[in-house]
Amino acid sequence: MHYVIIGGCAAGLNAIEGIRKIDQSGEITLISKEKYPPYARCLITNYLIGTHSEKSLYLRDNSFYKKNNVNLILEKEVKKILPDEKKVYLSDKEKISYDKILIATGSSPKKLGIKGEEKEGISVFRTIDDVKKILQRIEKSKKVLVFGGGLIGLKAGYSLKKKGLEVEIIIKSPQILSQVVDKKSAKILSNWLNENGIKIRTGLEPVEILGNKEMEEVLFDNGEKIKAQIGIVGKGVSPNLSVIENTDIKTHWGIIVDDYLRTSNDDIFSAGDVTETKDLITGNPTITALWLSAQEQGKTAGINMAGGKKKYPGSIGANAAEFFGLPFISFGKTRETENVEIKEICDEKNYIYKRFVLKNNILIGAVFIGDVKSAGLYMSLIRSKSNLENYKNILGKEWFNYGKVRELLEKDEGFRESISPEGNNIFFT
Amino acid sequence: MKRIFVDIEKCMACKTCEIVCAVKHSKSCNLFGAIKEKPNPSSRIKVIEAKVIPIPLQCRHCVEPLCEQACISGAIKIEEEFVSVDKEKCVHCYSCVMACPYGVIDIQKEENIAIKCDLCLDEEIPPCVKSCPTKSLFYGELKDFKKQREKREEKCTM
């Protein structure tokens, strides 16, 4: 059996582990277009700040690939999949045949789509190489403009501020993290970032990058010009679908898969940012493009490729970050306002805010700022779709804990499966 | 693989386990030293108040740990049913806190690291288990724990 994995990041790496859970002898080949082995993409901020070296971002050391008998092919891109021949075509015209294949090609940052974007100084923020490019410019730069107020934009802005640069975040929408949190949470986080020296401007859009070869100034839609030497584009990502062009694999926003992460072709699986899965809460199609989803999907797909039968429960949008010492966690549907009940604990002065969104007594979203203790408990309440009618008034309180909702959680099959080897609880009464 | 099991009928919430755990994870490793340390050494086990009974709760070392799946730096690993945090790799990003269904992972602010039960592998029996006066905590294989439970039930029905 020859397993081929296209893409060397979270999903691809976890697929190796998934496959090896079931099949210890089959051949595994992982092909990545980057020159580095799978690394912690989210830690490029730390690499930029300087707390981490390039090597320390690698998720596994060489012995892992050796031990698991993985043939690692780096710096080569898969151009095409030929499902009829069961082969992939590489950029150097080499052909590799497969029995089962995983598409984990990830996603690419969206562009601004404005004049002058190709100028030196404008960069996206996704790979080690992006950071290397930014680091080269840091010395001759004073000011950074970040386009986009998503988590990537905020993290890029945060790390450049830590590097001593002046940072201004430019957002088209009226709030930061508009895809992730509600207005109130966004306001509290904005205030905190402001207080720590990051300027945030909303309702503003760049129309042209000015300068000769290098970026010097940015022209905005209100006619304003701002001088800056570095521009970071954080406008979201789109799935890398080019490998399956000319195949009949079904796509919508991303590659469509069943509950076992199998595509419309029986031998082809898909995981990570390129995959369109079911939203765990609504059941609607979604691409979360998040680390947690990619890892879970990768592992699940790996197990199923090797003949196991593991169901993927669906994706949940979940983010965790820390800015200037203030922790922040959010997951699920935090922005919903219709037919929902909101429970909150708020101490705005001290930057503490907890928000719980319930629909028909079922938790569908939560935000934690400042005090994030036991946040995961609430995530499992969302996952298990527990009825919280009797508990909704104590959500977020210090004395609300696992013990209070143990029975509710243990009813959930997925929860039971994940905790103990025998599928039963580790507690005995 | 040995695990820590909890017989929740027996816990009296004396919190001895919390104290010995904090002492074990302190720099001085003794009670008098530990209480003077700054930052205060923290316990990896917490006696939580469930509905009516207390439960001593620490990392359950899940077979499919969500914390490991959420970890963005590769610091959390599971090997042979033991979930560990690599201090060198942890970047205190709070992803594990976001994912742990039991709420038993914390970030220690002073040291900026994720802390949770490490099973005190350098000890034959973890101090929390050893010191538990009511034997609510048990360290061993599942089958041994079941055996002990059966014995107790026999005694009760006699």
Give the closest residue to B40 by CA, choosing from B49, B51, B31: B31
Residue B110 has pLDDT above 90, yes or no: no
Q: Are residues B51 and B123 in the same domain?
A: yes
Q: Are residues B44 and B75 in the same domain?
A: no
Test mutation, B88, B98, B147, B152, chain A, max A CBs within 10 A: B98
Number of domains in chain A: 3
Domain with residue B36: its CATH number is: 3.30.70.20
Residue A312 domain-assigned (yes or no): no
d(CA A220, CA A206): 4
Q: Are residues A259 and A359 in the same domain?
A: no
Q: Are residues A135 and A80 in the same domain?
A: no
Strand bridging mode A100-103 / A2-6: parallel
Q: Answer whether A19's CB lies under 8 Å from A303's CB.
A: yes
Place of tokens 């697929």: A15
d(CA A295, CA A297): 5
Residue A261 domain-assigned (yes or no): yes
Give the closest residue to A130 by CA, choosing from A152, A115, A105, A148: A152
Enumerate the H helices of A202-358 as residue ranges: 291-305
* pLDDT single digits (tens) B40-86: 899 999 999 988 889 999 998 988 899 999 999 999 999 988 999 99
Residue B152 has pLDDT above 80, yes or no: no
Q: Are residues A149 and A170 in the same domain?
A: yes
Partners of B66 on chain A (C-beta within 8 Å) are: 292, 376, 379-380, 418
Cross-strand pairs, A332: A365
Residue A426: predicted pLDDT: 56
* pLDDT single digits (tens) A118-169: 999 999 999 999 999 999 999 999 999 999 999 999 999 999 999 999 999 9
* pLDDT single digits (tens) B25-43: 999 999 999 999 988 899 9
Number of domains in chain B: 2
Cross-strand pairs, A226: A218
Residue numbers of the domain that contains A27: 2-108+238-305
Q: Are residues B156 and B127 in the same domain?
A: yes
Domain with residue A349: its CATH number is: 3.30.390.30
Low-confidence ranges of chain A (pLDDT < 50): 423-425, 429
Give the closest residue to B50 by CA, choosing from A394, A404, A392: A404
Report pTM: 0.94
Q: Are residues B130 and B155 in the same domain?
A: yes
Q: Are residues B25 and B103 in the same domain?
A: no
Residue A296 domain-assigned (yes or no): yes
Q: Are residues A101 and A242 in the same domain?
A: yes
B residues 54..113 contacting A (CB < 8 A): 54-55, 57, 60, 62-67, 69-70, 72-74, 81, 88-89, 91-107, 109
Q: Are residues A293 and A353 in the same domain?
A: no
Cα separation values, A330 from A180, A333, B26, B105, Å: 7, 9, 32, 17
As given in the structure block, the two tokens for residue B41 are: 């050494």
d(CA A246, CA A230): 38
d(CA A373, CA B115): 12
Q: Are residues A26 and A96 in the same domain?
A: yes
A56: contact with B, CB 8 A cutoff = yes
Q: Answer whether A233's CB lies under 8 Å from A152's CB.
A: no
d(CA B119, CA B74): 20
Q: Do B101 and A402 touch (CB under 8 A)?
A: yes
Residue numbers of the domain that contains B82: 59-116
Q: Are residues A103 and A249 in the same domain?
A: yes
Test mutation, B5, B45, B69, chain A, max A CBs within 10 A: B69
Residue A428 domain-assigned (yes or no): no
ipTM: 0.94
Q: Are residues A214 and A252 in the same domain?
A: no
Q: Are residues A281 and A358 in the same domain?
A: no
d(CA A45, CA A49): 6
As given in the structure block, the two tokens for residue B56 are: 């001593």
3 state DSSP class of B82: strand
Q: Which of the listed residues A277, A305, A333 is the one where a domain comes to its end?
A: A305
Cα of B130 to nearest chain A Cα, Å? 18
Q: Are residues A144 and A217 in the same domain?
A: yes
Q: Are residues B155 and B140 in the same domain?
A: yes
d(CA B132, CA A218): 66
Q: Are residues A86 and A187 in the same domain?
A: no
d(CA B10, CA A429): 9
Partners of A321 on chain B (C-beta within 8 Å) are: 93-94
Q: Are residues A85 and A46 in the same domain?
A: yes
Domain with residue A154: its CATH number is: 3.50.50.60
Residue A271: predicted pLDDT: 98
d(CA A353, CA A349): 10
